[in-house]
């Protein structure tokens, strides 16, 4: 199902390794509540902002919240000011190229 494959990213874009467990809980709970309210589902995956995650926070998120950590291998540049068209072009090219290998 599409909805169960959604990935969330904390709204405030914190540097997760710098957060306490209580702060991680707040970030994840706020997102889960928003997803449930809007879409009726709780995401199974989380993508840490900036791709920053360490063993302590990954282990905590997985054990406490049951989320799978998802990282990425390509960047559209949107986080450094790329336009919507830049993102569209990037993903269109990415999709056309198919899986690497």
17-54 residue pLDDT tens: 999 999 999 999 998 999 899 999 899 998 888 889 99
Q: Confidence class of residue 9 from pLDDT cuts 50, 70 and 90?
A: low
Which residues lie closer than 8 Å to 101 by C-beta, 6 or more apart? none
Question: What average pLDDT does the structure give for the chain?
Answer: 84
H/E stretch holding 46: strand 45-46
Residue 6 has pLDDT above 70, yes or no: no
Q: How far does CA 16 lie from the centroid of its chain? A: 11
pLDDT band at 75 (very low <50, low <70, confident <90, very high): confident
Residues 6+ apart with CB under 8 A from 91: 76
Contacts of 33-42 with CB under 8 Å at 24 or more apart are 35/6, 35/8, 39/3, 39/6, 40/3, 41/3, 41/4, 41/6
């Amino acid at each position: 199902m599409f909805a169960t494959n959604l990935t969330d990213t904390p709204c405030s874009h914190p540097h997760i390794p710098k957060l306490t467990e209580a702060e991680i809980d707040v970030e994840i709970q706020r997102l889960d509540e928003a997803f449930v309210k809007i879409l009726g589902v709780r995401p199974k995956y989380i993508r840490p902002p900036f791709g920053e995650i360490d063993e302590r926070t990954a282990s905590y998120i997985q054990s406490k919240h049951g989320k799978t950590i998802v990282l990425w291998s390509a960047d559209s540049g949107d986080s450094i000011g790329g336009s919507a068209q830049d993102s569209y072009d990037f993903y269109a090219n990415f999709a056309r190229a198919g899986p690497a290998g």
